[in-house]
Amino acid sequence: MYSHKKHLFFDMDKTVAPARQPILSDMYEFLSSLSHSIIIVSGQEVSKIDWQSNSLPAIRLGQNGNHAVEIDGTELWNIPLEKHHEEEILSHINTLKTLIDHDIRDEWTPIEIRGSQITFSPIGNTAPVDIKMSYDPDRMKRDALIAKAPFISEELIVKIGGSTSFDYIHKDRHKGTNVAKLIEYKGWDKDECVYFGDGLFPGGNDEAVIGVIDTHPVNDHLHTYELLQKYFG
Protein backbone atom coordinates (compact mmCIF):
# COMPACT_ATOMS: atom_id res chain seq x y z
CA MET A 1 0.00 0.00 0.00
CA TYR A 2 2.80 2.43 0.91
CA SER A 3 5.74 0.80 -0.85
CA HIS A 4 6.30 3.98 -2.89
CA LYS A 5 6.38 6.29 0.13
CA LYS A 6 9.76 7.84 0.92
CA HIS A 7 8.86 10.55 3.45
CA LEU A 8 6.96 9.62 6.61
CA PHE A 9 5.30 12.40 8.62
CA PHE A 10 4.06 11.80 12.17
CA ASP A 11 2.25 13.58 14.94
CA MET A 12 4.02 13.05 18.28
CA ASP A 13 1.63 12.46 21.21
CA LYS A 14 -0.37 9.23 20.87
CA THR A 15 1.21 8.61 17.46
CA VAL A 16 4.99 8.22 17.82
CA ALA A 17 5.01 8.18 21.62
CA PRO A 18 2.57 7.95 24.52
CA ALA A 19 1.08 11.33 25.43
CA ARG A 20 3.71 13.49 27.14
CA GLN A 21 5.99 10.47 27.61
CA PRO A 22 9.20 9.31 25.92
CA ILE A 23 9.15 7.17 22.83
CA LEU A 24 9.24 3.41 23.46
CA SER A 25 12.47 1.65 22.55
CA ASP A 26 10.85 -0.59 19.91
CA MET A 27 9.42 2.44 18.08
CA TYR A 28 12.72 4.32 18.29
CA GLU A 29 14.71 1.39 16.95
CA PHE A 30 12.28 0.72 14.11
CA LEU A 31 12.07 4.32 12.92
CA SER A 32 15.85 4.67 13.19
CA SER A 33 16.29 1.59 10.99
CA LEU A 34 14.24 2.95 8.08
CA SER A 35 15.82 4.57 5.04
CA HIS A 36 12.81 6.90 4.74
CA SER A 37 12.81 10.54 5.76
CA ILE A 38 11.18 10.87 9.19
CA ILE A 39 9.37 14.11 10.02
CA ILE A 40 7.67 14.81 13.35
CA VAL A 41 4.98 17.49 13.29
CA SER A 42 3.86 18.49 16.77
CA GLY A 43 2.28 21.29 18.72
CA GLN A 44 5.17 20.90 21.16
CA GLU A 45 8.30 23.00 21.09
CA VAL A 46 11.26 21.53 19.22
CA SER A 47 13.18 20.98 22.46
CA LYS A 48 10.31 18.87 23.82
CA ILE A 49 10.11 16.90 20.56
CA ASP A 50 13.83 16.14 20.98
CA TRP A 51 13.29 14.97 24.56
CA GLN A 52 10.17 12.93 23.83
CA SER A 53 11.67 11.26 20.74
CA ASN A 54 15.00 10.58 22.48
CA SER A 55 16.70 12.69 19.78
CA LEU A 56 15.39 10.46 17.00
CA PRO A 57 17.07 11.40 13.69
CA ALA A 58 14.13 13.34 12.26
CA ILE A 59 13.17 16.72 10.88
CA ARG A 60 11.24 18.49 13.65
CA LEU A 61 8.28 20.69 12.81
CA GLY A 62 7.51 22.14 16.23
CA GLN A 63 4.54 24.33 17.17
CA ASN A 64 2.46 22.84 14.34
CA GLY A 65 5.34 23.34 11.95
CA ASN A 66 5.88 27.03 12.63
CA HIS A 67 9.36 26.20 13.96
CA ALA A 68 11.19 23.87 11.56
CA VAL A 69 14.55 22.31 12.39
CA GLU A 70 16.64 19.92 10.30
CA ILE A 71 18.08 16.64 11.59
CA ASP A 72 21.46 18.34 12.13
CA GLY A 73 19.90 21.22 14.08
CA THR A 74 19.82 23.76 11.25
CA GLU A 75 16.81 26.05 11.70
CA LEU A 76 14.71 26.33 8.54
CA TRP A 77 12.16 28.85 9.84
CA ASN A 78 10.59 30.13 13.05
CA ILE A 79 7.40 32.24 12.92
CA PRO A 80 5.90 33.20 16.32
CA LEU A 81 2.50 34.65 17.10
CA GLU A 82 2.25 38.41 17.46
CA LYS A 83 1.44 40.08 20.78
CA HIS A 84 -2.15 40.93 19.85
CA HIS A 85 -2.69 37.28 18.90
CA GLU A 86 -1.56 36.18 22.36
CA GLU A 87 -3.93 38.66 23.98
CA GLU A 88 -6.86 37.43 21.88
CA ILE A 89 -6.16 33.81 22.77
CA LEU A 90 -5.70 34.45 26.48
CA SER A 91 -9.00 36.32 26.54
CA HIS A 92 -10.79 33.27 25.13
CA ILE A 93 -9.03 30.97 27.57
CA ASN A 94 -10.28 33.15 30.43
CA THR A 95 -13.81 32.72 29.07
CA LEU A 96 -13.39 28.94 28.98
CA LYS A 97 -12.14 28.96 32.55
CA THR A 98 -15.45 30.41 33.74
CA LEU A 99 -17.26 27.39 32.26
CA ILE A 100 -15.08 24.68 33.80
CA ASP A 101 -16.68 22.81 36.68
CA HIS A 102 -13.49 21.93 38.55
CA ASP A 103 -10.55 23.76 40.09
CA ILE A 104 -7.73 24.65 37.70
CA ARG A 105 -4.40 23.79 39.25
CA ASP A 106 -1.73 26.32 38.29
CA GLU A 107 1.04 23.95 39.41
CA TRP A 108 0.01 21.64 36.55
CA THR A 109 0.64 24.41 33.98
CA PRO A 110 -2.77 24.82 32.33
CA ILE A 111 -1.44 27.40 29.86
CA GLU A 112 1.72 27.02 27.78
CA ILE A 113 2.82 29.91 25.55
CA ARG A 114 5.09 28.29 23.00
CA GLY A 115 5.80 31.10 20.57
CA SER A 116 3.81 30.03 17.52
CA GLN A 117 1.12 28.30 19.57
CA ILE A 118 -0.66 28.65 22.88
CA THR A 119 -1.98 25.48 24.48
CA PHE A 120 -4.63 25.39 27.20
CA SER A 121 -5.34 22.22 29.15
CA PRO A 122 -8.20 22.50 31.67
CA ILE A 123 -6.72 19.67 33.73
CA GLY A 124 -3.13 20.87 33.24
CA ASN A 125 -0.49 20.26 30.59
CA THR A 126 1.84 18.73 33.18
CA ALA A 127 -0.78 16.84 35.21
CA PRO A 128 0.09 13.21 36.04
CA VAL A 129 -0.31 11.03 32.98
CA ASP A 130 -2.99 8.79 34.49
CA ILE A 131 -5.12 11.84 35.33
CA LYS A 132 -4.62 13.30 31.85
CA MET A 133 -5.55 10.07 30.11
CA SER A 134 -8.78 9.68 32.09
CA TYR A 135 -9.84 13.34 31.93
CA ASP A 136 -11.41 13.59 28.46
CA PRO A 137 -10.71 10.42 26.42
CA ASP A 138 -13.73 10.91 24.14
CA ARG A 139 -13.18 14.69 23.74
CA MET A 140 -16.73 15.38 24.95
CA LYS A 141 -15.65 17.84 27.65
CA ARG A 142 -13.61 19.91 25.22
CA ASP A 143 -16.27 19.74 22.50
CA ALA A 144 -18.86 20.96 25.01
CA LEU A 145 -16.67 23.87 26.12
CA ILE A 146 -16.10 25.06 22.57
CA ALA A 147 -19.81 24.68 21.80
CA LYS A 148 -20.61 26.95 24.75
CA ALA A 149 -17.90 29.50 23.92
CA PRO A 150 -16.87 29.33 20.24
CA PHE A 151 -13.57 30.94 19.35
CA ILE A 152 -14.38 33.54 16.70
CA SER A 153 -11.30 35.17 15.21
CA GLU A 154 -10.26 36.64 11.87
CA GLU A 155 -6.71 35.26 12.02
CA LEU A 156 -6.62 32.46 14.60
CA ILE A 157 -8.14 29.02 15.12
CA VAL A 158 -8.31 26.52 17.96
CA LYS A 159 -8.01 22.76 17.56
CA ILE A 160 -8.45 19.89 19.98
CA GLY A 161 -5.01 18.41 20.55
CA GLY A 162 -3.33 15.68 22.56
CA SER A 163 -5.31 14.08 25.37
CA THR A 164 -6.56 17.22 27.17
CA SER A 165 -5.60 20.31 25.20
CA PHE A 166 -6.88 23.19 23.13
CA ASP A 167 -4.23 24.31 20.62
CA TYR A 168 -4.46 27.92 19.41
CA ILE A 169 -2.56 28.77 16.22
CA HIS A 170 -2.67 31.16 13.27
CA LYS A 171 -5.28 29.89 10.79
CA ASP A 172 -2.87 30.26 7.87
CA ARG A 173 0.09 28.63 9.64
CA HIS A 174 -1.07 25.17 10.68
CA LYS A 175 0.19 21.62 10.21
CA GLY A 176 -1.19 21.44 6.68
CA THR A 177 0.45 24.61 5.40
CA ASN A 178 3.75 23.79 7.08
CA VAL A 179 3.84 20.22 5.79
CA ALA A 180 3.28 21.64 2.30
CA LYS A 181 5.99 24.26 2.93
CA LEU A 182 8.55 21.61 3.90
CA ILE A 183 7.71 19.44 0.89
CA GLU A 184 8.18 22.42 -1.43
CA TYR A 185 11.40 23.45 0.32
CA LYS A 186 12.80 19.93 -0.04
CA GLY A 187 11.56 19.45 -3.59
CA TRP A 188 9.81 16.22 -2.63
CA ASP A 189 6.97 14.59 -4.55
CA LYS A 190 3.88 14.85 -2.33
CA ASP A 191 2.71 11.46 -3.64
CA GLU A 192 5.74 9.94 -1.93
CA CYS A 193 4.67 11.38 1.44
CA VAL A 194 2.23 10.06 4.06
CA TYR A 195 1.13 11.45 7.42
CA PHE A 196 0.15 9.39 10.49
CA GLY A 197 -1.80 11.07 13.29
CA ASP A 198 -4.36 10.46 16.01
CA GLY A 199 -6.09 13.82 15.41
CA LEU A 200 -7.34 13.34 11.86
CA PHE A 201 -10.96 13.88 12.89
CA PRO A 202 -13.10 17.01 12.40
CA GLY A 203 -11.67 19.65 14.71
CA GLY A 204 -8.57 17.58 15.48
CA ASN A 205 -5.09 19.05 15.39
CA ASP A 206 -4.02 16.84 12.46
CA GLU A 207 -7.10 17.57 10.32
CA ALA A 208 -5.37 20.33 8.34
CA VAL A 209 -3.01 17.79 6.73
CA ILE A 210 -5.93 16.06 5.00
CA GLY A 211 -5.78 16.91 1.31
CA VAL A 212 -2.15 18.05 1.47
CA ILE A 213 -0.69 14.52 1.39
CA ASP A 214 -2.03 11.04 2.05
CA THR A 215 -3.04 10.58 5.68
CA HIS A 216 -3.57 7.54 7.87
CA PRO A 217 -5.45 7.84 11.20
CA VAL A 218 -4.14 5.96 14.23
CA ASN A 219 -5.60 5.22 17.64
CA ASP A 220 -2.36 5.56 19.60
CA HIS A 221 1.39 4.88 19.42
CA LEU A 222 0.87 1.12 19.61
CA HIS A 223 -1.41 1.24 16.59
CA THR A 224 1.19 3.32 14.73
CA TYR A 225 3.86 0.74 15.46
CA GLU A 226 1.58 -2.04 14.23
CA LEU A 227 0.96 -0.17 10.97
CA LEU A 228 4.64 0.58 10.45
CA GLN A 229 5.49 -3.08 10.88
CA LYS A 230 2.79 -3.95 8.36
CA TYR A 231 3.72 -1.43 5.70
CA PHE A 232 7.48 -0.99 6.15
CA GLY A 233 8.67 -4.01 8.12
> Which amino acid appears at position 32 of this protein?
S
* Helix-helix angle 25-33:221-232, to 10 degrees: 30
Going by their DSSP bridges, the two strands 67-69 and 75-78 should be labelled as antiparallel
Domain ranges for the chain, please list them: 7-79+173-232, 83-170
According to DSSP, the residues that pair with 112 across neighbouring strands are 119
Write the pLDDT tens digit of every residue in 6-45. 999 999 999 999 988 999 999 999 999 999 999 999 989 9
| SS3 state of residue 155 | coil
Long-range pairs for 184-192: beta carbons < 8 A, 24 or more residues apart: 185/76, 186/7, 188/6, 188/7, 188/37, 191/4, 192/4, 192/5, 192/6, 192/7
φ, ψ of residue 41 in degrees (nearest 5): -115, 110
Tell me how far apart the alpha carbons of residues 63 and 79 are, in angstroms, rounded to a whole number. 9
Q: Which class does domain 7-79+173-232 fall in? A: alpha beta
Asked if the model's pLDDT at residue 203 lies above 90, the reply is no
pLDDT for 58 equals 98
According to DSSP, the residues that pair with 19 across neighbouring strands are none
Asked whether the beta carbons of 192 and 5 are under 8 A apart, the reply is: yes
According to DSSP, the residues that pair with 78 across neighbouring strands are 67
Write the pLDDT tens digit of every residue in 209-224. 999 999 999 999 999 9
Write the pLDDT tens digit of every residue in 112-144. 998 999 999 999 999 998 999 899 999 999 999
* This prediction's pTM: 0.81
Asked whether the beta carbons of 195 and 9 are under 8 A apart, the reply is: yes
Mean pLDDT of the chain: 95
Asked if the model's pLDDT at residue 162 lies above 90, the reply is no
Q: Please state the length of the chain.
A: 233
According to DSSP, the residues that pair with 195 across neighbouring strands are 9, 215
The terminus-to-terminus CA distance of the chain in angstroms comes to 13
pLDDT for 163 equals 86
Closest Cα to residue 40, out of 72, 19, 81, 71? Answer: 71
Q: Could you tell me the CA-to-CA distances from 208 to 41, 111, 157, 158, 215 in Å, in that order?
A: 12, 23, 11, 12, 10
Chain centroid to CA 233: 25
CATH of span 83-170: 3.30.1240.20
